[in-house]
A and B are shown apart, each in its own frame.
Chain A
Amino acid sequence: MRSAPLPQALRERKEGRALLWLGSALFFGFALLPLVALMGAAIPGRPLRYLADPMLQQALRISAITSLIATTLVVVTGLPVAYLLARYRFRGREVLDTLIDLPMTLPPVVAGVALLLAFGRAGWVGQHVDGMLDALFHRDVHIPLSTTAVVLAQAFMAAPFFIRSARAGFETVPLQLEHAAMTLGRNRWGVFWAVTVPLAAPALLAGVVLAWARALSEFGATLMFAGSLPGVTQTLPLAVMGAMEIDLDLAIALSVLSLVLAFGALIGAKLVVRQWRL
């Protein structure tokens, strides 16, 4: 009598799993189809010739430089913020936390407008900075429509990705280990670099990759704040937009290149993190 309900339960469980796979297949079909289409369009080989195209090379160079500088900027300024949020309880912590995440939900174009209002020629900071920069370099310098603007736009949009990940990483480091390091003669600065950072390294690294990928794909804020000047502010995503009006194959080549970079970043990060855990 006891054995009768068992096969039925088993069958139900199998049915449940089949349903789960079906649902997942729908999603994968939907998510992968565009990527397959993009790769398919590149396969005839024609778009690949564009890899030597000056517009593509220029965009690649600007994207590489700006995204790397922006990521560095985010890491340097974001590390103390992440540690502060992970370790200390203070008034307004929740507010600060929410503000940091805001760029993730804000439409990038709006972020671009905000940056323009802050750093633009008539902006709050811009009107002072411009004069200072002009005096410093003895020429007419201003932030909007410059490569600096690209970096600022990217950093603004990418920062929350790094800070979130770094903060979660710091929170996994037991406070006890930092205390132990202190009793072993290290001050807070020494403890941070010798214990906290190495132990949070996988999360920090994941944060760096996420931030870099976000900087690399930045479009809306950059277009608004920095424009799309070839050789100055035209990054890969902006070049895709520009190429669509001239040559579809060039746009495809630029897109494939972006896809490869994004995919490579994710795989690279996974490999490094796995190595670290061992």
Chain B
Amino acid sequence: MAAVTPQLELDIEVVLETFALELALTAAPGETVVLVGPSGSGKSTCLRALAGLARPRSGQIRLAGQTVFDAHHRIDLPPWKRRVGMVFQDYALFPHLTAERNVLFGLRGVPDAQARTQEWLEALDLTDLALRKPSQLSGGQQQRVALARAAATDSDLLLLDEPFGALDAATRRSVRGELRRFLQRATGAHGGRPPRATVLVSHDYLDALTLGDRIAVLEAGRLTQVGTRDEVLRRPRTPFLAALTAHNMVEGRAQSAVPGSDLREIAVGPLLLHVAGAADLPAGPVFLSFGPQEVTLLRTASSGGDMSPRNQLPATVREIVPLPDRLRIYLDAGFPLIADVVRSAAADLRLEEGTRVIAVVKSTAIEVYC
């Protein structure tokens, strides 16, 4: 594959109150990268540094091939020279201007400002609200104005800070799909200009899954994982991500491969788990990952049937959370473990907090990676 010049190249260190944010990231033209992480992990600071509103201590930022920040060469373009469109968490609409004038605000000196404004107002279904002031708009409508305002400019990069942060749950659901269509439109080629990249910040994993081409996980100022939606979903590398996806993620150590065997032994604390299809994995630290539906609970250890008898983990029930169609059981097996069981099975097992059970994971259901 031919190398595409990244729309955004970022390698910065920003000093925050309690830790330093260290971050290297690229985004291709047309790509949406979702920066996801718990609150206080430095996500918003990263966006502010990209926009020129916060100054990194070191590093550089290149946008569409142009250096906008370089600590070593003392380059620090102010926000108004950076060609970055930003959607703020609480929208930051100008309260004294109508929706239309808010969008026009960023188009001073643009010949087709009026036409472009109408185009974006229409794209976001705001034509009828064009003459309203922000105080006369709902939260969702205000967000659409903020999106139109940022997208209408000639920016190389679009930044979205917690686009759902200020919306209630019902609005969130409807807006998520809307935002997805918006991003396709905003990041694609428009008006003959090259497509731009988007960096979206969220603490909500679902946002990342719905909107990101690539997902970058930020925890306490460090990137802990960067990958496609699929990679991050199936192979979470941190407990934070695993908990968000309700995925089991266990750190272990792969033992030396046994020649001729399809199974591989992975040490997890004092336990040995057997995993299928991992014969070529190098020995050493690995991650094990499996969905909560892959965990079966038994009252007593079993030795029969087609079950691999060795992947039996003694565990204690910590918490039972009802889901619409089943129960989610949080267990302690020396490490946190999540199991989804149907209600009838839970009743048969007489599960309650403190119950001691045997958790069984099929060797073929475990994904292992390093």
- What is A's interface to B at a CB cutoff of 8 Å? 174, 176-177, 179-187, 190, 194-195, 198-199
Contact = CB atoms under 8 A, between A and B. Distances in A.
Interface in B1-60: 51-53
Interface in B317-366: none
Interface string B42-86: 000000000111000000000000000000000000111010111
A179 B92 contact: yes
Given A185-B106, A199-B95, A199-B96, A180 B80 contact: no
Nearest to A185: B80
A176 B88 contact: yes
B105 interface: yes
Contact of A182 (B80, B95, B96, B150): B80
A113 to B, nearest CB: 45
Nearest to B51: A183
A179 B79 contact: yes
B214 interface: no
B193 interface: no
Given A174-B92, A177-B94, A183 B86 contact: yes
B92 A194 contact: no
Nearest to B91: A180
Given A177-B94, A199-B95, A199-B96, A182 B78 contact: yes
B92 A180 contact: yes
Q: Is the interface of A mostly helix, strand, loop or mixed?
A: helix
Contacts of A194: 105
A202 to B, nearest CB: 11
A198 B96 CA distance: 7
Given A177-B94, A179-B79, A195-B94, A184 B53 contact: no
Contact of B86 (A174, A177, A180, A195): A180
Given A176-B90, A180-B88, A185-B106, 20 more contacts: A174-B92, A177-B94, A179-B51, A179-B53, A179-B92, A180-B93, A180-B94, A181-B94, A181-B105, A182-B79, A183-B80, A183-B150, A184-B149, A184-B153, A185-B80, A185-B153, A186-B80, A195-B94, A198-B96, A199-B95
B196 to A, nearest CB: 14
A198 B133 CA distance: 14
Interface string B133-158: 00000000000000001100100000
A184 B105 contact: yes
Given A176-B92, A177-B92, A199-B95, A183 B79 contact: yes
B80 A187 contact: yes
A234 B88 CA distance: 56
A175 to B, nearest CB: 10
Nearest to A201: B96
Contacts of B92: 174, 176-177, 179-180
A118 to B, nearest CB: 40
A177 B86 CA distance: 12
A174 B84 CA distance: 20
A194 B92 CA distance: 14
Nearest to A187: B80
Contacts of B53: 179, 182-183
B89 to A, nearest CB: 9
A116 B85 CA distance: 55
Contacts of A190: 80
Contacts of A179: 51, 53, 79, 88, 92
A161 to B, nearest CB: 25
Nearest to B89: A176
Interface pairs A-B: 6 shortest CB-CB: A184-B106, A180-B92, A182-B79, A183-B86, A176-B92, A198-B96
22 contacts: A176-B88, A176-B90, A176-B92, A179-B51, A179-B79, A179-B88, A180-B88, A180-B93, A181-B94, A182-B79, A183-B51, A183-B53, A183-B85, A184-B80, A184-B85, A184-B106, A185-B80, A185-B106, A186-B105, A187-B78, A187-B80, A199-B95
A186 B82 CA distance: 11
A72 B366 CA distance: 77
A195 B86 CA distance: 17
Nearest to B109: A185
A179 B80 CA distance: 10
A228 to B, nearest CB: 45
Contacts of A174: 92
Contacts of A199: 94-96
Contacts of B150: 183
Nearest to A182: B79
Contacts of A185: 80, 106, 108, 153
A64 B291 CA distance: 82
Contacts of A184: 80, 85, 105-106, 149, 153
A198 B101 CA distance: 14
A180 B94 CA distance: 9
A262 B85 CA distance: 48
A122 B96 CA distance: 51
A176 to B, nearest CB: 5
A199 B95 CA distance: 8
B66 to A, nearest CB: 16
A124 B92 CA distance: 49
Contacts of B108: 185-186
A176 B86 CA distance: 11
Nearest to A186: B80
A185 B85 CA distance: 9
Contacts of B51: 179, 183
B217 to A, nearest CB: 26
Interface in B77-129: 78-80, 82, 84-86, 88, 90, 92-96, 105-106, 108
Contacts of A180: 86, 88, 92-94
